Structure 1
Amino acid sequence: MLSQILIKDHKGNYVDFKAFMPEDESVYSNEVIRPLPRQKGRGHFSSFAICKGLDLGICRCRFDEDYMARFTLEKPFFTFGFCLKGQCFSQGSSMPYSVPMVPDRSSAYFFNDRFVERKIKGQQEVLALAIHISPDFLLKRICPDYIRPDHIRPGLMRDVQYGDLPENFPENRRFYADHIMTAQMKTAVYQILNNPHKGRVGNIYLESKALELIALRLEQVFRTDGFPGRNSTIDPEETERIYRARDLLVENRQFPPSLRELAGQAGMSHTQLNKGFKAMFGCTVFEYLRKERLAYARMLMEENPADLTWIAYESGFCSSSHFAASFLKAYGIRPSAYRKSLSIK
């Protein structure tokens, strides 16, 4: 669905962002890789044309300098963004302001615009996933009988294609929603980033996980029960302090500071900090820590054949039994059984 990508070079000119296909066709048949130019940093962008109307984009980069890119689209599409590290901003040519992607938040947006600009500040690592989906593709899955707009109930085409969130974009042809990224979403994102399958099976796996994330995301978008973190109204300064506390917590997941110490380092009271975490992430500080430890442990299990006891302590759990009980409660499977399912001996 992307027809052209231009990147701003060190002279300030926009040039073609060169891409290549992996030589090993058995890996992913539809993958395109764009290495980040050396003067900008290191890492690469990957894109996957899963099927007609559904693409995936992954950013695994360390940016030393500011990055700016311009995208020309074949036609407008929905974007579902999931950010694990770093920040980036996207803006359509007709948009008055940019749409952010920030850690532990997931964004969904649709602009009736074929030209999009993306900006990423230097001196940061970005790990993020974007799912691009055409309105037709989405409608066909929501309404199996969908053939053309007049074959579905009145209003659904507008709800899905243009959104139904007037508090964000009162104009009828724009849609933006920002929510917390739940533990279930984060697990699916890590599974996409660490796809254990190759070739056609790998593509099927990516499609299934992308659809899972879209379903979870749409459930948030159309809920009306005050889902935690929906379009949070916390002021920017307090938001920055909460993110600072979150980063400190994640960096020290093995030996975290106390709640009062963490709040002090962030310049807040412990009550404010807990309140802010609930508003932005849907849980208390140490509930967030537990989820982060579990997600980190799961990632280690998928990437590292190390002993489960070592993984438990490395993730910050006080014992392997505590880790096993927490893992079972969160994922419905014991760590040993999950390890076997990955075929890691």
Structure 2
Amino acid sequence: MTINFTFYDFWDLRKAANQKSLIDPTHPQDYLCRYPKEMGEGYYRWIRLREGITIEILETYLPQSIRWITHAHHQDSLEFGFILAGSGQDYDEQPTKSGEDYIFGGVYPQSNHNVNGAGNLRWVSLIIEPETLRALIESYGEQLPQDLEKAIIGVPEHFNLRPSLITPAKQVALQQILHCPYQGLTRKMYLESKVLELVSLKLADQVAAPTKKLLGLQEIDRIHHARDILLRNIGNPPSLIELARQVGINEYTLKRGFRQIFGTTVFGYLHDYRMEQARQLLLSGQMKIEQVAQIVGYANRSRFASAFRKKYGINPKAYQKLLPGYTGDWHGVAQSQWQNSHQPEHQ
């Protein structure tokens, strides 16, 4: 079943879902926002790095597909988007899926065809003001690629620029953003370096000649199917041999495909997913540690605690104790954080 929402519906629901601010104790300067429960479960995270550059991370679960009804409009900023989980259709009714990236900018047409499929949805988007990107590129003595320039000034046919596969190099940078080990000013500088790396890799796609994919389209679909099977069975995942058999490829292709598309091993991907799901469940404050451990596939609490500590540098219990944080006006906090983000930061 597919439900219909306009973006006006979304903003109203999101405002209602965020009457109080949610602070992540590991990164208290990030701007967190609950996803509307009428549509799914999860969070947005915004990381403001400098004037004109923001990282947006969406991690949510959609119980059913959503069709977005939009009106024609011009987007001032450029969005370098990377789909790590999820599928759907874009404004041209072209399929989009996990493992692809894109650039949005310029004029968005009126559409009833933009769809997000049911299931886990995980995106990383780099929101960059055109003048910031132009100044950065021109500082190296170069000019913006022509199609990007057209998108900025609003040429309609250039609102969605050449989707491509997320390469292993991009995947590594994305995982480093999602699992950045630093805090404070060091974290901002590190994340900004990853943003520049991803932008350079994506701009290289825009000017590069087409190359033959290492995996065929059918193999790519089967790798994504394998990933979906893993995520449906996080408590009792199949072996590599069994997983390969279920999706109709050999074990070597399965391992090679995961490395190419997701930048990690099959069970490395599953482990990262388990830990992130655990962190989100703990962040919600609705469950005991034992319950969270069981949901993400750990029968033993101590093993779960050890894995969580190794991943995030803090025990689940200690993480939970930090959760209450500030509970003030969501919009006031958002405005304050964004207006003061340029001020010197103290670690």
Name the aligned partner's letter for residue 109 of structure 1.
I
Instruction: Give unpaired runs (5+ residues) of structure 2.
Output: 23-30, 151-157, 181-187, 206-210, 326-347
Identical-residue share of aligned pairs (%) = 19
The answer to whether the 8 Å contact 2:91/2:114 transfers is no
Name the aligned partner's letter for residue 142 of structure 2.
G
1:189 is displaced (CA, Å) by 6.7
* Greater RCO, 1 or 2 (C-alpha within 8 Å, sep 6+): 2
1:54 is displaced (CA, Å) by 6.8
In structure 1, what is the equivalent of residue 296 of structure 2?
A: 315
In structure 2, what is the equivalent of residue 136 of structure 1?
A: 131
Change in Cα spacing, 1:335 to 1:302, as seen in structure 2 (3 Å) is same
Residue 22 (str. 1) matches residue 15 (str. 2): yes
Question: Aligned runs of 1:235-250 on 2, under 5 Å?
Answer: 235-250=216-231
Change in Cα spacing, 1:90 to 1:248, as seen in structure 2 (3 Å) is same
TM-score by length of structure 1 reads 0.59
Change in Cα spacing, 1:305 to 1:57, as seen in structure 2 (3 Å) is closer
1:266 is displaced (CA, Å) by 0.9
The answer to whether the 8 Å contact 2:91/2:111 transfers is yes
The answer to whether the 8 Å contact 1:78/1:135 transfers is yes
Cα distance in 2 for residues equivalent to 1:298 and 1:46? 12
Cα distance in 2 for residues equivalent to 1:322 and 1:284? 21
Cα distance in 1 for residues equivalent to 2:88 and 2:324? 35
Question: Aligned runs of 1:1-345 on 2, under 5 Å?
Answer: 18=9, 20=12, 22=15, 27=21, 42=39, 62=62, 67=67, 69-75=69-75, 77-83=77-83, 85-91=85-91, 98=94, 100=96, 102-103=97-98, 105=99, 107-110=101-104, 113-115=107-109, 117=111, 119-120=113-114, 124-125=118-119, 127-129=121-123, 130=125, 132-139=127-134, 142=136, 152-155=139-142, 157-158=144-145, 161=148, 174=161, 176-179=163-166, 182=171, 185=174, 214=195, 217-218=198-199, 221=202, 232-304=213-285, 306-317=287-298, 319-331=300-312, 333-336=313-316, 339-340=319-320, 342-343=322-323
SS of 1:237's partner is helix
Normalized per residue, the structure richer in helix is 2
TM-score by length of structure 2 reads 0.58
SS of 1:22's partner is helix
Number of aligned residue pairs: 287
Instruction: Give unpaired runs (5+ residues) of structure 1.
Output: 1-8, 144-148, 164-170, 192-206, 225-229
In structure 2, what is the equivalent of residue 227 of structure 1?
A: none
The answer to whether the 8 Å contact 1:185/1:216 transfers is no
Cα distance in 2 for residues equivalent to 1:26 and 1:304? 14
Change in Cα spacing, 1:275 to 1:73, as seen in structure 2 (3 Å) is same
Name the aligned partner's letter for residue 22 of structure 1.
K
The answer to whether the 8 Å contact 1:89/1:99 transfers is yes
Cα distance in 2 for residues equivalent to 1:111 and 1:127? 21
